[in-house]
Amino acid sequence: MKHPLLLPLLLLGSVAAFRLENHAPHLHSQDTQADLSQGLEGSGDQEGELALTEEKIQSEEEQVEASGYQNDFDDEKALQLDPSALDTNLQCPRTEDTVEIVGSPGCKTCRYILVRTPQVFTVAQHTCRNCYRGTLVSIHNIGINYHLQCMTSALNQGQVWIGGVVRGRGQCRRFFWDDGSCWNYSNWAAGQPNCGGGNCVTLCTTGGQWRLEHCCRPLPFICSA
């Protein structure tokens, strides 16, 4: 034969190729398992982060809820202050801190006093009674509401106290006017009146919508005398 080594070389090459083919799937399987293992570990980290995020959100919600209960308690406490204690230290507003308007749509003899000095709701109540022989204003139609909103539009405060208060909670909530008149009109802003937002009613100086606010917040106010 002219090529005595050709046959052994061909046989050796076939055996090497066969062994390489058998090892290739095994190596690929090891790489795949490593990738899957890393993926599972990453998934576990994400689940852990998600659980921590959920715990944080729940903790924040509980803090907000507790804060809301405390604010409601402060509101109720503020509305039950002893009037005689307030009257003793009461100082009537200076003329330059007030704006007076006589007459409104449907009530030519009505008199409104805007007090620009911020006070908590209860002090505002007693200021109207003791200084102007009136009450915080009640609103019974859109005309008066617009009239009062125009009266307050020049203020640098976004809200003013009017005479509305809420009593009770949940389905037992009821709204009352400071002067004892019937609650026959409202102009709530979107999402109002919301639970936990406070027990006293404000008029927004832009737009004229109403919002609940915590009674212990100092705000300008409108008296009806």
User: In the predicted model, is pLDDT for residue 68 greater than 60?
Assistant: no
Residue ranges of alpha helices (H) inside the chain are 6-79, 83-89, 121-132, 142-152
pLDDT for res 46: 56
Percent of the chain topping pLDDT 70: 61
- Say yes or no: 163 and 67 in one domain: no
CB 128 within 8 Å of CB 202: no
**Among residues 80, 109, 142, which one ends one of the domains?**
80
Q: CA 163, CA 221: separation in Å to the nearest integer?
A: 9
The residue-averaged pLDDT of 101-128 equals 91
**Among residues 80, 101, 126, which one ends one of the domains?**
80
CB 127 within 8 Å of CB 220: no
CB 161 within 8 Å of CB 220: yes
pLDDT range class, residue 71, cuts 50, 70, 90:
low
Number of domains present in the structure of the chain: 2
pLDDT for res 17: 46
Q: What is the mean pLDDT of the chain?
A: 77
- Say yes or no: 94 and 49 in one domain: no
Q: CA 199, CA 18: separation in Å to the nearest integer?
A: 85
For 70, the domain range is 1-80
Q: CA 222, CA 202: separation in Å to the nearest integer?
A: 10
**Among residues 80, 112, 137, which one ends one of the domains?**
80
Those residues with Cβ within 8 angstroms of residue 223's Cβ, 6 or more apart along the chain or in another chain: 112, 113, 115, 124, 127, 128, 131, 132, 134, 135, 136, 137
- Say yes or no: 203 and 97 in one domain: yes
- Say yes or no: 143 and 46 in one domain: no
User: In the predicted model, is pLDDT for residue 58 greater than 90?
Assistant: no
- Say yes or no: 191 and 92 in one domain: yes
Tens digit of each residue's pLDDT (9 = 90 or more) over 32-43: 454 545 554 555
The residue-averaged pLDDT of 209-225 equals 97
